[in-house]
A and B are shown apart, each in its own frame.
Chain A
Amino acid sequence: MDPLIDRALARALERAVARAGAPGLTGRIRFTERQLYYEVCRALRPLHAYPRRVRRTPAPPVPYERFEAALRRYADGGGDLGGLLGGGGGGGSRVAPLAEPCEPDLYDYGLPRLLVCQSRSVARMLLANDLHLEAACPVLAADDLPLDPRLVAGLGRVDGATVHVLHDASAAGMALTARVRDGVEGAPGPVRVVSLGLVPRHAMALHLVAGKGKGEGPGKRAGEGPGLPAGLPATLTARERAWLAAGRFAEVESVPPARLLRTVLRLVCGPRTPVHSVWTGLRTLRTAGFMTWPAENRPGGETRTTDDEPATRNPVQG
């Protein structure tokens, strides 16, 4: 090991802990180990500060294993880990099945929205930061699918209820929306299923650190490699397809935690303008993932840049 690199890594880790835990919705932000990893990547190689018109997704400047080793040293040395979430944040294990509620009315009401995250650790991070309280929105992981019938029934009680899907910019991620849509087929009323992203162009615009092929991270990408599966959204550009075909992917956790929270909250709670056009019902558009990523927070509110795109809201009959 190069001691110089390790020292640089330790300094980057310290900065990353502070940045990842910046003030959140309630108190300081709590973040996952992978979010900290990507924050370290940004600290080591601050390409995210490039102008947005320069569209690229840099490779990780440090392997995950080396980051983990540095993190262990940092923790052993008494370093402050701030809001780093504890065990269970990165695993994909399923949570316990729904317990019977103490109160008989817990599932008697309507749910205007629900969020499904591809990654359980992202779901846990959003819950840890009270997104569910802020947005009155259950936050589930993909491995919770199919949705509990009581949740589906709650969605069916609200006109215009929406299931939002938050996925990685990867072939598997973009297939998730269709999977979720299948899971709400039995709802008693119309339930929309919309993708919040990521798609490759978001990753490029935000200069997110992107992996490639197998082996990136702690086994999360096993089975994904170069090649392009069928059924991808037709709205993907040739450049995006090429990006995916090369086996690249960008995880939701590579988005800075504050930006992720702010954006998801805005998209989940924001006013929805119904789209009425002949294109509305086309399944190809339904599976398209769009996500608007705001600029850094400024006093007085959020500011949209020219790179922001409106989120598509495709009404879908359950």
Chain B
Amino acid sequence: MARFVACLAPTPERSAGHLAAMGAAVRYGAGAGGGAVRTPHLALVTDEPGYATGPFAAYGRTAVGEVTLHNRPDLLEALTVAGDPAPPGCPDGELLLRCWVRLGAAGIRAAEGMFALAVHEHAEGGGPDELVLIRDHMGARTLFYARADDTWTAATSLRALRRWPALVAAGGTGLDLAAVRSFLTFAYLPGEETLLRGVREVLPGRCLRLAADGTVTETHYWEPEERLKAGGDGAASPAPYVLRLRELLEEATAMRLPPGEDVGVLLSGGVDSSLVTALAAKLHDHPVHTYSISFGDELPNELGYSGLVAAHCRTRHRILTVSGDAVAARLAEAAALLDSPVGDPLTVPNLMLAEAVAGDGLRVVLNGEGGDPVFGGPKNLPMLVQEMHRRRGDLPDDGYGDGYGHGDDVRATAYLRSYRKCFADLPDLLTPEALHALTGLPAPQRFVTPYLRPEARDGRMDHLLNQLLHCNLRTKGAHHILTKVERLTASQSVQGRSPLFDRRVVDHAFATPPRWKLNGATEKWVLKESVRDLLPDTVVDRPKSGMRVPVQQWLGGPLRELADDLLLGREARARGLFRPDTVRAWLRGEGALLPRQGGKLWLVLTLELWLRAYDIS
């Protein structure tokens, strides 16, 4: 298990020196002919969980990557058609490298999988070398980069960059306050920001070309596009969309099943994970194991539904009971596993599920993530209502506070408010010093405006529902859901795979008339119809309930002392980010109209734990 680091310094010796200073081991991988690949620019970090392999070489380029491809036969065929067949047994990373070199962006676009790849390219004609960074379509794997001492460094390990002496010396590992605000607004970091001031994340579906002179050229090799047939948005029958979606779902699931092995599925009992369970049970020729969570008998849960699905699909079903004590004991560990904090109370349960899967000897576990951002979950109707009011002009705009924003910002600001995190609480939560320091820094609206901006522009989705889904896919999907799954499962040497985030499934979703996604008030209608024959109606037609996590109960019980110490202790006070009076009020269950203090405190607690894990003051 390893992650990778790639360096582009003015000289090979300096590259090697930077890699060594980060603790990355320069290894010698196998080239196409089986010969060793020697490069001072690419290395593995062997003490962190990940799927990095390499370096590989092909066509004069060297690369290192964390690459898992689901459609190898298609890619091998494409290379053969191009007249450059790849060795049949070459590793996924090398195959992707070959696709990049021989087929360019089209080759990457054709690859279905989870990947982050760094390619070291010798410029033709003796010019300066370049480093090319490629991240998969949806953002299943992460990749960071930074520049210091005239050197580019990219890594799938944020810790490696954190300990890069040149970046430390340049002040690039200090806390990025704008990113703190983003985290408190979204509960994750929704874009290129990281909490380290000098480190950026490569966005999904992009290739970055880092030149020796410090310039960056970004290419979008894939972005969802709205491709609706003319006149097909109202009267057309939904049947073709339903049938085609079923085909794609079967293909997406089949290509993610591990040949000759048992497979696991994380089964919450909701429709998304249930349909993945049903498809896996139908398509896999080995046993399917399902895993569900309970937070104790006294709390509401969805075990009845997950049990119903497991029985219906005849899976080997396990229920994992997660106690508050277990969450308290492992919260710091889960926070430290993530490159960017995720204020999601399910991180520890997710980690324990991955452990259970690994304990059963499985290497691949599927999940139902993606149903909401791709097909329209419960968060869209509020924004539609907001837009109706905005169009009427009856939302107050009297200059009070910064809540609604003005002009084109209104939709983006409402989107952030609808998140129900800490965006509107920032004036009460952050200290005056922190608020002052934030003045003039870029606002978090910038992460959603490109998807929600109403003006005409190239690539803009015309339908409001699709704009909302696009936004959700590119923010929460790529920066919360998929990265969390990847890091927590990788820590247990398990691969978490998400068939509903399949690129062709996503393309089909944006080619489906929006009214078949949100039909009346039925969310994900086309998705539900496509699998209706596979599941009991009780599961297909039940309204979304979400996982109910007893955060407030944990904070008042096993996490109470820890939360007090972490949030009101000397270190937190010295950091000077949060107002102790607000934190105290929330800990007492006060200071909010509805009892949501627990969820907000969870964000603050997660952030504090993450900052300590990364030793950032």
**Using a CB–CB distance below 8 Å, which chain A residues touch chain B?**
22-30, 83-89, 95-96, 98-112, 123-124, 127-128, 130, 132-139, 151, 157-159, 258, 261-262, 265, 297, 299-301
Contacts and interface: CB of A to CB of B under 8 A. Distances in A.
Nearest to B465: A105
Interface string B16-56: 00000000000000000000000000000000000000000
Contacts of A24: 593
Contact of B387 (A22, A106, A111, A124): A106
B592 interface: yes
B593 A95 contact: no
Given A103-B467, A106-B388, A128 B396 contact: yes
B594 A262 contact: yes
B393 interface: yes
A104 B463 contact: yes
Contact of A111 (B386, B394, B465, B521): B521
B400 A102 contact: no
A130 B521 CA distance: 20
Given A26-B420, A102-B454, A300-B552, A95 B392 contact: yes
A22 B593 CA distance: 8
Contacts of A261: 593
Contacts of B595: 297, 299-301
Contact of B396 (A26, A86, A112): A86
B462 interface: yes
B591 interface: yes
Nearest to B591: A23
Given A27-B403, A127-B389, A106 B384 contact: yes
Contact of A98 (B392, B420, B515, B589): B392
B521 A112 contact: yes
A124 B394 contact: yes
B392, B467, B590, most chain A CB atoms within 10 A: B392
A127 B388 contact: no
B424 interface: yes
Contacts of B467: 103
Contacts of A105: 233, 463-465, 514-515
Contacts of B382: 132-136
B398 interface: yes
A255 to B, nearest CB: 14
Nearest to B421: A26
A137 B424 CA distance: 20
Given A86-B400, A133-B417, A99 B392 contact: yes
B233 to A, nearest CB: 7
Nearest to A26: B424
Given A95-B394, A104-B463, A300-B552, A110 B589 contact: no
Given A88-B396, A106-B387, 16 more contacts: A26-B423, A27-B425, A27-B428, A104-B233, A105-B463, A106-B391, A109-B381, A109-B520, A110-B521, A127-B389, A127-B394, A132-B386, A134-B382, A157-B521, A299-B590, A299-B595
Interface in B409-429: 414, 417-418, 420, 423-425, 427-428
A195 B394 CA distance: 23
A258 B592 CA distance: 10
Contacts of B418: 130, 133
B89 interface: no
Contacts of A23: 428, 591-593
B384 A300 contact: no
Contacts of B396: 30, 85-86, 88-89, 124, 127-128
B454 A300 contact: no
Given A112-B521, A158-B520, A138 B593 contact: no
Interface of B: 233-234, 381-389, 391-396, 398-401, 403, 414, 417-418, 420, 423-425, 427-428, 454, 462-465, 467, 514-515, 518-522, 552, 588-595
5 contacts: A26-B420, A26-B423, A99-B392, A132-B389, A133-B386
Contacts of A300: 552, 589, 595
A136 B385 contact: yes
Contacts of A102: 454
Contacts of B395: 127-128
Contacts of B454: 102-103
Contacts of A101: 387, 391, 464
A109, A112, A128, A261, most chain B CB atoms within 10 A: A109
Contacts of B392: 95-96, 98-99
Given A124-B394, A124-B396, A27 B427 contact: yes
A263 to B, nearest CB: 11
Contacts of B394: 95, 123-124, 127
Given A27-B403, A109-B381, A136-B385, A258 B593 contact: yes
A91 to B, nearest CB: 12
Contacts of A297: 593, 595
A160 B588 CA distance: 39
Given A23-B593, A108-B515, A133 B400 contact: no
B424 A27 contact: yes
Given A96-B392, A136-B382, A86 B399 contact: yes
Contact of A138 (B383, B385, B518, B520): B385
B589 to A, nearest CB: 3
B520 A137 contact: no
Contacts of A133: 382-383, 385-386, 414, 417-418
A109 B385 CA distance: 10
Nearest to B588: A299
A142 B563 CA distance: 48
Nearest to A139: B389
A139 B388 CA distance: 10
Contact of A110 (B399, B428, B520, B552): B520
A29 B593 contact: yes
A105 B428 CA distance: 38
A108 B382 CA distance: 14
Contacts of A22: 593
Nearest to A159: B520
A95 B592 CA distance: 31
A26 B387 CA distance: 18
Given A26-B423, A106-B464, A98 B391 contact: yes
Nearest to A114: B385
Contacts of A26: 403, 417, 420, 423-425
Given A106-B391, A110-B520, A262 B593 contact: yes
A109 B391 contact: no
A27 B591 contact: no
B401 A109 contact: no
Contacts of B593: 22-25, 29, 258, 261-262, 297
Nearest to B522: A110
Contacts of B381: 109, 112, 136
Contacts of A100: 391
A109 to B, nearest CB: 5
A297 B454 CA distance: 39
A99 B400 CA distance: 25
Contacts of B465: 105, 109
Contacts of A95: 392-394
A78 B338 CA distance: 48
A38 B467 CA distance: 43
Contact of A103 (B417, B428, B463, B591): B463
B552 to A, nearest CB: 7
A85 B401 CA distance: 11
A104 B226 CA distance: 13
B393, B396, B417, B428, most chain A CB atoms within 10 A: B396
A24 B516 CA distance: 36
B140 to A, nearest CB: 30
A295 to B, nearest CB: 14
